[in-house]
């Protein structure tokens, strides 16, 4: 464990890491910027419960008053959910500034991976990752999440990526950076709200034990980077492709018209897609996060046996 002087690991999490018991990291941008209040808080608390029910300790990660936190209290989760987008969305470039200024920050996939790694946590569950945006050939909007996956040894369990991104280019980028993309029980990359995307993953993996073994092997070789596990949304909660595609196309058109760019793009698109689908996409989003939390907890438990 990197005993970073800016890091506070909650005692339950620290004890589990020390004893070699399973721990699963969770991000806070999904709470503050990814879902509306109060569903965000309810979801975050349920995710922690699901992780416990499946044998692991949850560690929701955030920055509070300039401290990097691995493991939040329910009150702190409520605070992030209520404050929502008024909290800084913290990517790699924001960490030092927010800590120096003593401010709060909601951690993205990037910074959650970084802080999880500092705290000795190997497995992280979320909904979707950032990636190469549609139109990136002119905007150069490529999420820092892809660079972090390339360099930080944390396994990220997600439901694929939303088609607000260019999924083909996102896969190309991950290939260039040497990040394995695994499909859980599928050969096809899931597209978050739907199980199909038309793109293939590198490998299909069918059990938490196999996921753990691959990650352990990568760590033993000291290859250095992460692994992306893409876990399809359960069939009963998936959305009709035409409905979600139309909402995403409209949200992207509005984003371009309004000239929204930079770190605002992803939160704008997430919120607009939820509005345009009348909350249906939010219900799907919540269900796929629960599904990922369970798989991450089971995989963390298998990893600890190796
Ligand atoms: N995609 C989602 N839900 C999310 C995010 C992305 O489907 O909540 C959040 C995650 O925190 C992710 C971040 O790390 O957005 C990516 O932002 P950007 O595209 O600005 O890198
Ligand atoms: Mn971006």
Q: Which parts of 239-279 fold into alpha helices (H)?
A: 241-258, 265-276
Q: How far apart are CA 221 and CA 276, in angstroms?
A: 46
Q: Is 127 in the pocket of ligand 1 (CB under 6 A)?
A: yes
- If you measure from the C-alpha of residue 94 to the centroid of ligand 2, how many angstroms do you get, rounded to a whole number? 14
| 129-306 and 1-121 share a CATH fold | yes
Q: Is 141 in the pocket of ligand 1 (CB under 6 A)?
A: no
Residue position matching structure tokens 């692991």: 56
Measured from the alpha carbon of residue 61, the closest ligand is 1
Q: What is the pLDDT of residues 48-71, one digit of tens each?
A: 999 999 999 999 999 999 999 999
Does residue 27 carry a catalytic annotation?
Answer: yes
Q: Residue ranges of the domains in the chain?
A: 1-121, 129-306
Q: Which homologous superfamily does the CATH classification assign to the domain defined by 1-121? A: Indigoidine synthase domain (3.40.1790.10)
Q: What is the pLDDT of residues 136-157, one digit of tens each?
A: 999 999 999 999 999 999 999 9
Which one is catalytic: 89, 162, 263, 294? 162
Nearest-atom number in ligand 1 for the CA of 34 is: 8
Residue of 40, 43, 83, 90 whose CA lies nearest to 63: 90
Q: Is 143 in the pocket of ligand 1 (CB under 6 A)?
A: yes
Q: What is the pLDDT of residues 152-187, one digit of tens each?
A: 999 999 999 988 999 999 999 999 999 999 999 999
Alpha carbon separation from 224 to 117, 150, 220, 234 (Å, rounded)? 11, 8, 10, 31
CATH of 129-306, one of 3.40.1790.10, 3.30.413.10, 3.40.190.10, 3.60.110.10: 3.40.1790.10
Q: Is 34 in the pocket of ligand 1 (CB under 6 A)?
A: yes
- If you measure from the C-alpha of residue 162 to the centroid of ligand 1, how many angstroms do you get, rounded to a whole number? 10
Q: Is 43 in the pocket of ligand 1 (CB under 6 A)?
A: no
Report whether the peptide linkage leading into residue 38 is cis, meaning its omega lies within 30 degrees of zero: yes
Q: How far apart are CA 27 and CA 62, in angstroms?
A: 7
- If you measure from the C-alpha of residue 79 to the centroid of ligand 2, how many angstroms do you get, rounded to a whole number? 25
For range 238-249, the mean pLDDT: 93
* Model confidence band, residue 1 (pLDDT cutoffs 50, 70, 90): very low
- Whole-prediction pTM value? 0.97
pLDDT at 279: 83
């Amino acid at each position: 464990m990197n005993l970073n002087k800016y890091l506070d690991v909650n005692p339950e999490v620290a004890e589990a890491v020390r004893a070699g018991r399973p721990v699963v990291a969770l991000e806070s941008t999904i709470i503050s910027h990814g879902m509306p209040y109060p569903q965000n808080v309810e979801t975050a608390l349920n995710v922690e419960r699901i992780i416990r029910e499946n044998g692991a300790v949850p560690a929701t990660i955030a920055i509070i008053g300039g401290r990097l936190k691995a493991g939040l209290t329910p009150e702190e989760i409520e605070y992030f959910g209520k404050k929502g987008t008024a909290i800084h969305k913290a990517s790699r470039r924001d960490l030092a500034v927010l800590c120096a200024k003593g401010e709060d920050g909601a951690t993205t996939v990037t910074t959650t991976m970084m802080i999880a790694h500092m705290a000795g946590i190997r497995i992280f569950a979320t909904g979707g990752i950032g990636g190469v945006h549609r139109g990136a050939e002119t905007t150069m909007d490529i999420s820092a999440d892809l660079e972090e996956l390339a360099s930080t040894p944390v396994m990220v369990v997600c439901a694929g990526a939303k088609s607000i991104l260019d999924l083909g280019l996102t896969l190309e980028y991950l290939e260039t950076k040497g990040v394995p993309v695994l499909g859980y029980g599928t050969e096809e990359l899931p597209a978050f709200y739907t199980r199909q995307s038309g793109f293939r993953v590198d490998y299909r993996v069918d059990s938490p034990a196999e996921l753990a073994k691959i990650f352990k092997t990568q760590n033993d070789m000291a290859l250095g980077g992460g692994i992306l596990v893409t876990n399809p949304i359960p069939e009963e909660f998936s959305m009709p492709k035409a409905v979600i595609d139309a909402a995403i196309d409209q949200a992207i058109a509005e984003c371009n018209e309004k000239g929204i760019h930079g770190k605002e793009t992803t939160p704008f698109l997430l919120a607009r897609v939820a509005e345009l689908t009348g909350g249906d996409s939010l219900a799907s989003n919540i269900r796929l996060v629960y599904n990922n939390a369970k798989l991450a907890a089971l995989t963390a438990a298998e990893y600890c046996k190796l």
